[in-house]
Amino acid sequence: MSRVGVFLCLCGKNIGGTVDVTALGEAARQMLGVAHVEDATYLCSHPGQEQIREAIRTHRLTAAVVAACSPTMHEATFRRAAASVGLNPYLVEMANVREQCSWVHRDVHAATAKAIDLVRMAAARVLRSEPLYPLTVPVTRRALVIGGGIAGMQAALDIAANDQEVVLVERGPSLGGRMAQLSETFPTLDCSQCILTPKTVEVAQNEKVRLLTCAEVESVSGYIGNFQVTVRLRPRYVDAERCTGCGQCEADCPVGKSGMVRSEFEAGLPQSHRSAIYRLFPQAVPNTPVLDPETCLYFQKGTCQVCSRVCPTGAINYDDQPRTETLAVGAIVVATGLEPVSPGIYGEFGGGRYPDVITGLQFERLLSASGPTGGEVRRPSDGRVPQRVVFVQCVGSRDPAKRLPHCSKVCCMATAKHATLYRHKVPGGEAVVFYTDIRSPGKGYEEFVRRAIEEEGALYLRGRVSKVYPEGDHLKVLGADTLSGEPMPLTADLVVLAMGLVASPGARELAQRLGASVDEQGFFTEAHPKLRPLESFVPGIFLAGACQGPKDIPDAVAQASGAAAKVSALLARSEFAREPVIARVEERTCTGCRACIEACPYEAIEEVEVATAKGSRLVAHVTEGKCQGCGVCAGVCRSHSIDLAGFTDQEVAAQIAGASP
């Protein structure tokens, strides 16, 4: 039979001053199952804790109620004390008679009466409690990083630095992501490639990192510490073992010579083209070219085969096949990055129909020394050097009408950089910027924008552009200066749209495979907007970089390192313990109505078949690793066949009943 010990803390005068602890003690002695009552001035003190341990031993207590401060304050303290003398910590219940009683009521009589009820409720509850034991979940000590951009590479390198294995999966043919496409980076204007290349090389050479390119996550099962991930590898048609990266195939490919295929890496600039067998850019890692069957003459017309003829090592393999590989990992880092909104949805700017209205990313390529114009700013239409460039900000940002209400965060800085670099390259040229607000928080950012305005002489006009259309071989830009309240019609040679940023294509599908969630722009939702920004809702799946929201390079790198730290902490031990507060199903009475499955925010419940006298039936089954213990499932179960350990129906009912004398 259960013997509950009740421990009353006076907390100096904090409780004792308002609650008549003597009366409380007398009342407690009358309560069902209470075998022992004692008080102390400070139960949380060492002597106080010792007092509890002593009482548990001598009075052979089977459960304890501690009437003191808030459990948020000292529940852990008292549970540890009990555990140290062999009493299951989950059989220690606190009655919050300080924060929720003595501190909020002045009348001694009323406060005491309430304290008595609170202790009775706790005692009744703990009588119904059962011992619980921390769950231990085994951990596969290997991480998966999805996305080979700067964030993904940083995460992979940091995890590897902790001597833990990493598999880095990149959808494209090589590493680098968006950063590889940038010319210079704000606010320091150092060349993007130059600071990126060492990282890509480091990733490729790190023996703890396994790099899979042309690879996509196909399916994910399992849970924190124990994921099974199936990766699909597209054929590259080039044998990486044999390829020396000489580039002969690329050079001789007739598709390249014909110039009929625009380069995705060059953001589809009309001046740009690539071969059917190509590398995104010369320093690409891995340096093995990839053959694109969509544009390859051999795959399309069955002719050509030039690449295999010119390849000195016979590395070309037209029969290469797609394959899948299943990986066992303990943690996953999502670093799938972002993409610019398509200008196609902005008819007022020509919807992509006017060659000299280009996106910021295309302008980056025009500025880049490795770009199609060798770094000279030339108009796509006629190759002339534009004498006036109009930059339009917030195209696809802060635009609820296009269901893109968010600020894309980096465009203000990117535009200031574009204006600056344009002025450097075309000294006589005019840079006009239409902005909504200039947002430049970040080290040296505001100074950078000011420099663009004051030293580089970019003309900043606050207002949105309502329309752009060709007029002769110029562009008419119908802008407005909302500060002077005047319409600002301008003539320009080139218009650069600072396109808003959304999650990279496929993010939504990936989220579904991972069981994670994304917002309307496809950005992954973090577990808590303030306190858990590096975690997804799914335990063991972390977020790095722009997949969680628009970010500049330093932010992406910082978040990647943070996510990596969390991964390393998880992978540090071969198993990890967690609170045993999880849902459990009474299979005998579960009818398999699926309500709990639908209600679970974590996809932690599934249908399983159980044998019955009449054969078999489907019932709900909780995956311990996934369950977060919210109890929403228990709240919807009509037959109360699913319950929440630590907050069982029995415990809650007893606590409710305990509220009445």
List the interface residues with other proteins, window 311-330 (CB under 8 A). Answer: none
The site for other proteins, by CB under 8 A, has a size of: 83
Q: Residues 430 to 489: which contact other proteins by CB under 8 A?
A: 467, 469-471, 476
**Tally of helices (H runs) and strands (E runs) in the chain:** 19, 32
Stretch that binds other proteins, among 298-306, 332-340, 446-454, 628-636 (CB under 8 A): 628-636
Q: According to CB under 8 A, which one of 41, 88, 100, 482 is a site residue for other proteins?
A: 100
Residues 255 and 295: their CA atoms lie apart, in Å, by 8
Q: According to CB under 8 A, which one of 118, 269, 361, 414 is a site residue for other proteins?
A: 118
| 297: contact with other proteins by CB under 8 A | no
Of the pair 53, 617, the CB lying nearest other proteins is at: 617
Residues 223 and 229: their CA atoms lie apart, in Å, by 11
Q: Residues 25 to 64: which contact other proteins by CB under 8 A?
A: 27, 30
Q: Residues 529 to 548: which contact other proteins by CB under 8 A?
A: 537
Q: Please enumerate in sequence order all residues whose Cβ is within 8 A of that of 7, keeping only pairs 6 or more positions apart, or say none.
A: 37, 38, 39, 40, 43, 51, 52, 55, 64, 65, 66, 67, 68, 78
340 phi, psi to nearest 5 deg: -75, 145
Residues 136 and 579: their CA atoms lie apart, in Å, by 9
Q: According to CB under 8 A, which one of 50, 107, 382, 575 is a site residue for other proteins?
A: 107
Stretch that binds other proteins, among 262-270, 328-336, 498-506, 627-635 (CB under 8 A): 627-635
Residues 493-522: x where in contact with other proteins by CB under 8 A, - otherwise, as a string: ------------------------x-----
Stretch that binds other proteins, among 194-202, 234-242, 256-264, 629-637 (CB under 8 A): 629-637
Minimum CB–partner distance for residue 355 and other proteins (Å): 16
Of the pair 574, 639, the CB lying nearest other proteins is at: 639
Stretch that binds other proteins, among 78-86, 251-259, 359-367, 633-641 (CB under 8 A): 633-641
- Which amino acid, 422? Y
Of the pair 51, 655, the CB lying nearest other proteins is at: 655
Three-state DSSP state, 414: helix
Residues 364 and 340: their CA atoms lie apart, in Å, by 13
Q: Residues 577 to 596: which contact other proteins by CB under 8 A?
A: 581, 588-596
Q: Residues 196 to 215: which contact other proteins by CB under 8 A?
A: none
**In what helix (H) or strand (E) does residue 231 lie, and over which residues does it extend?**
strand 226-233
Stretch that binds other proteins, among 82-90, 219-227, 318-326, 645-653 (CB under 8 A): 645-653
Minimum CB–partner distance for residue 467 and other proteins (Å): 7
Minimum CB–partner distance for residue 657 and other proteins (Å): 5
Q: Residues 59 to 88: which contact other proteins by CB under 8 A?
A: 70-72
| 618: contact with other proteins by CB under 8 A | yes
Q: Could you tell me the CA-to-CA distances from 561 to 212, 394, 534, 614 in Å, in that order? A: 21, 30, 10, 55
Residues 124 and 60: their CA atoms lie apart, in Å, by 19
Largest CA distance in the chain: 98
Q: Could you tell me the CA-to-CA distances from 162 to 196, 331, 545, 567 in Å, in that order? A: 22, 14, 20, 10
Give the N- to C-terminal CA distance of the chain in Å, as an integer: 22
| 347: contact with other proteins by CB under 8 A | yes
Burial class from Cβ neighbours inside 10 Å (0-12, 13-18, 19+) for residue 156 reads buried
Q: Residues 358 to 417: which contact other proteins by CB under 8 A?
A: 401
Q: At what angle do helices 411-425 and 360-367 cross, to 10 degrees?
A: 40
